[in-house]
Structures are given as structure tokens and as C-alpha cells.
Structure 1
Amino acid sequence: MMSKNFMNLQFASRSENESFARVTVAAFVSQLDPTLDELTDIKTVVSEAVTNCIIHGYDNSPNGIVYISAEIDEDTVVISIEDRGAGIADVEQAKQPLFTSKPELERSGMGFTIMENFMDEVEITSAVGVGTKVTMKKRLESKKALMN
């Protein structure tokens, strides 16, 4: 089996970098030979978390930095996405389906719900004025294992 592998990434909190983040994390995870569904799930949760950093953490200011780290340990991937922005006053409230702190932007309020549905574990740590970190874990069923 592979030993632990990792990557770190940081970029400006600009919406055009969201697709860059998706593709970069997907490329890193691809070494585990994930199924297409697993890869789609990972790209989706990365998009949701990065978008949250940009819109909620930094209030659409391009001056913030979004931090991503990903680690592979055997068949498990752990992805952390972090901002040093506004923070979340009530994480439990923020996790509720359809809750959004920016209804004027017609956001669906489903970001954390999607993350929790697509990943095995989701941990959210946040402090107002300090920032938010979302750590997500998923065990992948590699296509090689499915064929045996």
C-alpha cells in the first residue's frame, strides 16, 4: 500500500479560483483510482467549501486567502479547506439545511448538508473573527478492488 501522501495549496479568495481548487484536489485524489462518482463527490464538496470561504468567510473580497490541504493514507482521503475570515457564530445553525446568512444572494443553504452527504466525516471548527476550517474524510472504494 502507499504511504501517506499530502499536498497544500493556497490561493486568492476569488470565485474564478473555485474551479482551479476542484481540479487540483481531484487530480491529487486520482492517484487512488476513485470511481467517477467518488471523484464527482469530492469535486462537489471542494466547490462548496471553497465557495463558503469566498462568500461567507471573506464576503467576496479578493484579498483573503483560501487554504487547502489534502492527505491520502492508504484508501482514505482527508481534505481540509480553511479561511481566516469572518468565522461562524453558530456552527450548528449553519449546518441546518436551507440556512444561509446571505439570502439576498439566493444561496441554497445546502453547502454543509451536501458535504455531510457526500463524505464519511465532516468536522467544522470556527471562531468569529478568526476563520473557519472544514475537514472532510472519505474512504474510497478503488475501481481495482471493485473488479476483483
Structure 2
Amino acid sequence: MNNVMKTEFSALAENEAFARAVAAAFVMPLDPTVEELTEIKTAVSEAVSNSIIHGYEGCADRNEAKVIMECTISDGGKLVITIEDNGVGIGDVEKAMEPMFSTGDSEERSGMGFTVMESFTDRLKVRSEIGKGTTVIMTKYLDIISGI
């Protein structure tokens, strides 16, 4: 049996905390460890922040810019979190995923977003198209103590 949750929110910085809380609440029935919960929240935070900061860079009306988050829990504790935006897209995903790569001010951004996502999940996939947006798909396998 799969459990699925999908939410859409404005691409505003304050909604990054909302996304973290929603993802954490969604996995709670699986009784994740503190470490697993922290890793999930951190990965979601990075993905949503990237969508908000880079996906909608130059967007005049952030209230119209949307981020979509979908979480799926499958039997066996497989968690898939998808973060999607319809923003500017990434021209070279492979380059963007290199540690320390950033399109922002080097004093302001570390270029470690994808590296953090990758280190806190079991699998990371990024699809993007210029002018159409970016989809980040993160998979994490949880050690199930109690099922849903």
C-alpha cells in the first residue's frame, strides 16, 4: 500500500520551513529515527530553497510562483520526495550538481545544495529544462519500526 501527499505553495522563503514540517509530519507514522527525520528535513529544505532562490530568480511576483512537493511512502519504508518548480530551469544539471558550483554570489551561496541532498538521501535525480522548470526526486529508505 502506498501513502501519498501532495501540496503546492508560493515560492516564498518562509514556506521552506512549512515544507520541512509537512515532510516530517508525513513520515511520522513510520516512527523514523531522529537522524532519519533530520536528514529528510535537511534534504527537503535544500530542494525547496533551491527552487525558491534559483528556480524563480528574477520573478517579479513570488506569490504566483509555485513549488509543488509530493511525498510517497511505499511498503518497506521507501520514501520518495519530489520537489518541482516551473521556473527558469537549469541549463547544465551535471555542472549544477558539482560541489561548490553556484550561480549566486560566492559570499552568499556555498554551492552545496545538491551535495547536501545527495548525502542525506539514498538516491537523487534532477530533471530540468530551460524555461520550463526543475524537478528534484529524492529517495530514502527508512528502517521501519512500525508500519502505516
Please tell me the residue identity of whatever aligns with 1:92. Answer: E
Rounded Cα–Cα distance in structure 2 between residues aligned with 1:93 and 1:105: 20
Rounded Cα–Cα distance in structure 2 between residues aligned with 1:118 and 1:98: 17
Percent of aligned pairs sharing the same letter: 49
**SS of the residue 2:137 aligns to:** strand
Question: What residue number does 2:66 align with?
Answer: 65
Instruction: Give unpaired runs (5+ residues) of structure 2.
Output: none
- TM-score if structure 1 supplies the norm length? 0.92
Residue 42 of structure 2 is aligned to residue 44 of structure 1: yes
Q: As a proportion of its length, which structure holds more helix?
A: 1
CA contact (8 A) 2:31 2:144 kept: yes
Please tell me the residue identity of whatever aligns with 2:90. Answer: I
Question: What residue number does 1:79 align with?
Answer: 81
RMSD value, Cα:
1.5
How many residues of Structure 1 are paired with residues of Structure 2 in the alignment?
A: 143
Question: What residue number does 2:27 align with?
Answer: 29
Structure 1 runs of 4+ off > 6 angstroms? none
CA contact (8 A) 1:87 1:126 kept: yes
Question: What residue number does 1:120 align with?
Answer: 122
Among candidates 13, 16, 36, match of residue 15 of structure 1: 13
- TM-score if structure 2 supplies the norm length? 0.92
CA contact (8 A) 1:21 1:47 kept: yes
Deviations 1:69-106, CA, capped at 9 Å, x for gaps: 00000211000000000000000100000100112561
Instruction: Give unpaired runs (5+ residues) of structure 1.
Output: none
